[in-house]
Amino acid sequence: MNLEKLKTEVDKFASDRDWDQFHSVKNLSMALSVESSELLEIFQWMTEEESNLVKNNPAKLEKVEDEAADIFVYLLRLTGKLNIDLEKAVINKMKKNAEKYPVELSRGNSKKYDEL
């Protein structure tokens, strides 16, 4: 995945439509939350088993793909506005998570780090 290429495409899309004026950090974070909620809505009344079978339902899967893309687009815009290197942020967060969730304590365990 080429994040810079995607960021450039997303930024151009917004720029071509003069949407940058609406894309404040506050508005982008709110839009990100809304799109996340739309993803949740797809699974809202499903059982665990039904949710795991969405991958076998092309119509449902397309809805999930669309919402995941919307979430990612807003995340790219938000991190771009804040000059956050998303790749670096993910790597740093995974290092922090590795410290909070050592394999020997967290393997097969769903407890939060402060309960391990």
Domains of the chain and CATH, by start: 3-84 (1.10.287.1080), 86-116 (no CATH)
* Alpha-carbon gap, residue 73 to 7, rounded angstroms: 8
Per DSSP, the three-state class of 19 is coil
**Does the pLDDT value for residue 113 go beyond 90?**
no
In tens, the pLDDT along 52-86 reads 999 999 999 999 999 999 999 999 999 999 999 99
- What is the signed CA dihedral for 63, 70, 33, 16, rounded to 10 degrees? -150
pTM comes to: 0.89
Average pLDDT over residues 90-97: 97
Per DSSP, the three-state class of 47 is coil
